[in-house]
């Protein structure tokens, strides 16, 4: 499951223009498989949405439902036209709401490895890994481009213990004040005062 490098569309997914080398989103068919690229484990799916936004979602392979969006280009400018892999980069074309086409390219949405982008490294392939990261690979299976994936938010720190809890500076135990010292006839237990337990 990948997008292969190509220069022209083969109209294999009528009435959409989409092949293994591109995606096409039809406004009249929001659930078109021509607009989707799946990870090999089917846990993630890349969707070219009708407004021109390219979004990577978690995917439930059993129900087919889309889950959380994990990455997006934020290119919803009007109407999607196509996404193609041309050489070592992908190009997304969208028709703007006010008219005219706007082009977006992969270098603006990720990191390239210049050592893996040579002409001799062709052809290139766009894939989603089982880890949910979108990448372009060259013919030697080297990573030529990686999408800029936002790191997961760290969990919030635990709240401080309330006053009077065992181990807190107040010296209390589980919300109660400390117990009174044990008194013996000759003094307090453990004190230097002579007594039954402290003598």
Residue 112, token pair as written in the block: 């390239």
For the chain, give every domain's residue range: 3-147, 161-199
- How would residue 160 be classed by pLDDT, with cut points 50, 70 and 90? confident
- For 126-137, how does the pLDDT look when each residue is reduced to its tens digit (9 = 90+)? 899 999 999 999
Give the closest residue to 69 by CA, choosing from 85, 49, 88: 49
How many residues are there in the chain? 199
What whole-number distance in Å separates Cα of residue 123 and Cα of residue 110?
19
Assess whether pLDDT exceeds 50 at residue 152.
no
Q: Show the beta-strand stretches assigned E in the chain.
A: 3-4, 22-23, 36-38, 44-48, 54-59, 66-72, 78-86, 89-96, 101-105, 110-112, 125-128, 134-137, 143-147, 183-184, 187-188
Angle at 95 between CA 93 and CA 100, to 5 degrees: 110
Angle at 52 between CA 51 and CA 57, to 5 degrees: 95
- How would residue 147 be classed by pLDDT, with cut points 50, 70 and 90? very high
Most confident region among 83-92, 137-146, 175-184 by mean pLDDT:
137-146
What whole-number distance in Å separates Cα of residue 95 and Cα of residue 82?
10
Contact 172, 164 (CB under 8 A): yes
Beta bridge partners, 105, equal 91
- Range 3-147 classified under CATH 2.90.10.10: yes
Give the closest residue to 5 by CA, choosing from 133, 106, 110, 101: 106
Instruction: Return the number of other C-beta atoms located less than 10 Å from residue 2's C-beta.
Output: 17
Assess whether pLDDT exceeds 90 at residue 171.
no
- For 87-104, how does the pLDDT look when each residue is reduced to its tens digit (9 = 90+)? 888 888 888 888 888 999
- Kindly report the average pLDDT of the chain as a whole number: 74
């Amino acid at each position: 499951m990948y997008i292969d490098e190509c220069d022209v569309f083969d109209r294999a997914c009528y009435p959409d223009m989409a092949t293994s080398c591109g995606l096409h989103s039809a406004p009249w068919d929001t659930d078109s498989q021509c607009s989707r690229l799946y990870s090999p484990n089917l846990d993630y799916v890349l969707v070219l949405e009708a407004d021109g936004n390219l979004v990577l979602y978690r995917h439930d392979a059993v129900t087919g439902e889309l889950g959380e969006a994990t990455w997006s280009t934020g290119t919803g400018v009007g109407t999607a036209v196509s996404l193609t892999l041309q050489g070592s980069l992908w190009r997304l074309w969208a028709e703007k709401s006010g008219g005219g086409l706007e082009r977006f390219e992969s270098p603006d949405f990720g990191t390239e490895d210049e050592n893996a982008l040579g002409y001799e490294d062709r052809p290139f392939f766009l894939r989603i890994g089982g880890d949910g990261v979108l990448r372009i690979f060259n013919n030697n299976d080297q990573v030529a481009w990686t999408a800029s994936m936002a790191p997961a938010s760290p969990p919030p720190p635990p709240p401080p213990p309330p006053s009077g809890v065992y181990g807190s500076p107040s010296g209390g135990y589980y919300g109660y004040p400390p117990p009174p010292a044990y008194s013996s006839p000759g003094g307090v237990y453990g004190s230097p005062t002579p007594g039954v337990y402290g003598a």
